[in-house]
Amino acid sequence: MLKLKVGVFCMALVPAVAPMVAQAEGDAELGAKVFRKCKACHAVGDGAEHKVGPALNGVVGRVMAAADGFDYSDVLKDMAASGASWTEDELAAFLEKPRNYAKGTKMSFAGLRKEADRANVIAYLATFAE
Ligand code: HEC
């Protein structure tokens, strides 16, 4: 009887957990290494300032083009004006090919080809609050 209950419990649990597993969870530590590719243009963490690109503290989940004092491209400003924000999905799409995602972006970076690199760097960025 007990066995049956456990079995039912597990089956009930699987659908709830599966979507989380299916969406590649990023590893922030590996993401710190990926972020080396971004450091020429971006700073993040305590005292981060704008460089060629905006400082990235608090960027994950925030409205696009919202860092104070950074002069964004028109395309990002337009997307922000229509209410778009940097969900993990939007970030992943942008980082895969910035210039395809936002035609006219000032971010001259080819992109991160590997899905794992994208997920990891997003997990890393998510560790920095505003
Ligand atoms: C050659 C310089 C350069 C490199 C390399 C670069 N970026 Fe950028 N990034 C920029 C610039 C410039 C912008 C502003 C884009 C605009 O206004 O269109 C930007 C914008 C962004 C934004 C949007 C910020 C906001 O406030 O809306 C994110 C997120 C971002 N970059 C992440 C990254 C990550 C992660 C990497 C490394 C994988 C990276 N960038 C590599 C220059 C760069």
pLDDT band at 130 (very low <50, low <70, confident <90, very high): confident
Q: Residue 24: which residues within 8 A CB-CB, separation 6 or more?
A: 115, 116, 119
**Measured distance CA(130)–CA(128) in Å, rounded:** 7
Query: With a 6 A CB cut-off, is 63 part of the ligand 1 pocket?
Result: no
CB 43 within 8 A of CB 49: yes
CATH topology of domain 24-125: Cytochrome Bc1 Complex; Chain D, domain 2 (1.10.760)
> pLDDT tens for residues 22-74?
456 899 999 999 999 999 999 999 999 999 999 999 999 999 999 999 999 99
The predicted pLDDT at position 5 comes to: 55
Q: What is the DSSP letter of 32?
A: H
Tell me the average pLDDT of the chain: 89
| Tokens found for residue 59 | 């960027």
Query: What is the number of the ligand 1 atom nearest to the C-alpha of 111?
Result: 38
CB 72 within 8 A of CB 41: no
CA–centroid distance, residue 8 to ligand 1 (Å) = 47
- pTM for this entry: 0.86
Query: With a 6 A CB cut-off, is 41 part of the ligand 1 pocket?
Result: yes
> pLDDT tens for residues 89-99?
999 999 999 99
CA torsion sign, 75 to 48 to 45 to 114? positive
More confident residue, 33 or 11: 33
Q: What percent of the chain has pLDDT over 70?
A: 82
CB 31 within 8 A of CB 103: no
CA–centroid distance, residue 38 to ligand 1 (Å) = 7
Q: Residue 108: which residues within 8 A CB-CB, separation 6 or more?
A: 98, 99
Query: With a 6 A CB cut-off, is 50 part of the ligand 1 pocket?
Result: no
